[in-house]
C-alpha cells in the first residue's frame, strides 16, 4: 500500500485535536476551480473515517481528480449542525481496487465554526462512551 503526501516530506504525527471515528456518516467533497474561477467541477460522495477540529478523513470509491491550484470543500452534517469547509489534502492512498482514503486539514476555518465542530465532536464522543458503558453493563 503506497501512501502519498501533499508535500515532498512525510509529516510527523502531531495532532492538536481529538479525533472521533465516524464510519457511518457521509460527506460531499467538491473540487472547485482555482481562485480565479471558483466553479464547481466535480463532486464526490464519501464516507467519513474520522473527524476533529483540525480536519477530516474519508473514503471514496474513486480517486479525487484535482490539480494543486484547485480548491476542495467538504459539506457534512453532524448532530444537526451543517458544516461547509475548505480543505487541503495532507495524504491519501488506495486502500484496495474500489476504495481510496484521504486525510485532509481544514483551511481557513473561522474560529466560531471550529469551536462549534470541536463541541460537536466532544458531544458525540461522550454519547458513544455512554452507549459503550451501557452495552458493557455498567
pLDDT for the residue numbered 7: 42
The model scores a pTM over 0.85: no
**Cα(121)–Cα(116) distance, rounded to whole angstroms?**
9
The neighbour count for residue 96, using CB atoms within 10 Å, is 7
Phi, psi of 33 (to 5 degrees): -65, 180
Max Cα–Cα distance, the chain, nearest Å: 57
Q: What is the mean pLDDT of residues 46-72?
A: 91
Q: What is the mean pLDDT of the chain?
A: 80
pLDDT tens digits for 28-46? 999 987 666 666 678 999 9
pLDDT tens digits for 75-102? 999 889 999 999 999 999 999 999 999 9
Residue 121 pLDDT greater than 60, yes or no: yes
Amino acid at each position: 500500500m503506497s501512501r502519498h503526501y501533499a508535500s515532498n516530506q512525510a509529516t510527523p504525527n502531531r495532532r492538536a485535536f481529538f479525533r472521533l471515528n465516524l464510519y457511518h456518516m457521509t460527506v460531499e467533497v467538491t473540487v472547485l476551480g482555482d481562485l480565479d474561477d471558483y466553479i464547481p467541477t466535480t463532486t464526490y460522495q464519501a464516507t467519513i473515517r474520522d473527524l476533529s477540529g483540525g480536519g477530516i478523513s474519508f473514503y471514496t470509491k474513486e480517486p479525487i481528480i484535482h490539480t494543486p491550484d484547485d480548491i476542495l470543500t467538504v459539506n457534512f452534517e453532524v448532530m444537526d449542525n451543517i458544516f461547509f469547509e475548505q480543505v487541503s489534502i495532507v495524504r491519501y492512498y488506495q486502500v484496495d481496487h474500489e476504495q481510496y482514503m484521504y486525510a485532509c486539514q481544514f483551511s481557513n476555518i473561522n474560529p466560531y465554526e471550529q469551536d462549534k465542530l470541536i463541541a460537536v465532536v466532544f458531544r458525540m464522543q461522550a454519547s458513544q462512551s455512554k452507549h459503550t458503558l451501557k452495552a458493557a453493563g455498567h
